[in-house]
Structure 1
Amino acid sequence: MKTIAAVLFSATLLVACNTATPDKYFDIAVLNCNVLHGFANDILLQELQNPGVKLVEGSTEKTEPLTRKEVIESKISYIEESYSKVRDLKETAETKEMLSASKAVYAYVLPVYKNEYTQLAKKFDEGAPADELDAMAQHITTTYAAGFEKLMTALTDAGKPYAAKNNIPVKWDVQTSPE
């Protein structure tokens, strides 16, 4: 009998430990999507035109530019990790719409990063002509920007009432009028 009670107590404790708070749900499902801000617009193109730097291996002071491939691989890695975290969250009646919207955003952008943006990064690293790079970037914007904005709007629309209901303080798009 003591063994059964111990097992039930442990199972209850495990379930309690795996329950994410409303803040955690919101952070993972909505706020982590902020990294996608430059998707299908000039922000990511500018990042590819002027990549950051990294420390040279074995040095603590000398830096070198990141390759564009490294920039995109880093974004893909973060997106995959974030997408996995969203998929791992337990869906509830209260979180269903927000999680579904978040998953839709990640499912939309990930293949574009793995394909079109990876190809664009390769072209940058190979020194392709500017007009070819611009044409590829414009194709990505033309093809994906509207769909991305629609999905992000759906995520925001799902996230706002969730944040309000759970008293999560959020500044929504500070460039527009506050709601």
Structure 2
Amino acid sequence: MQFPKIWLLRHGQTEWNAEHRIQGQLESPLTPLGIEHARRQAGLIAPVLARKPACFASPLGRAQQTADIALRGAPFVTDPRLAEAYAGVFQGLTLQDVAQRFPQIHGANPRNLDLFCEAPGGEGYASFHGRILDFMQALTGPTVVVAHGLLGQVMRGIICGLPRDRMAALPNGQGCVYVLENGAETVLE
């Protein structure tokens, strides 16, 4: 399946990222380093924004804060399909908490994408993948997306034709821009 060109920005580091605490769809503000990540993205994405692509962002605060900085006032549409995976009872816990309280789930899912999607009461992988694909299929032209790490792994994996295990192994850089086009990704840093 072909999709329009996508420039994907993961939000900058948050207080909970720094604590290795699972955010899911809960809120945590950007750290000073996270603000610097968004400023770095602003420099990388500026030439793209001059072409006036469609811009979308997750409704979650960390992505909105990143979009405000990185897009430098360019208008963007908030789309609920771009929210991070809902991680059920894991939201608000540290990865260490999950390892202690849910040792079997933690042990069987060493990568965050799999772990978050196996959370009791969570969204699950099929639903998460489905809403991301639905968003991507609705795109009509080159698009800038400001969203989240796990969402980005799935979106990048869809573009690159990767199976779930390879999606889960993708790096989750902050302060960079992933350029997704013609079945491949490149990274602007």
> Which is bigger in relative contact order (C-alpha 8 A, separation at least 6)?
2
Q: TM-score range by the shorter chain?
A: 0.3 to 0.5
Please identify which structure carries the higher helix content. 1
Which structure shows the bigger proportion of residues in strand conformation? 2
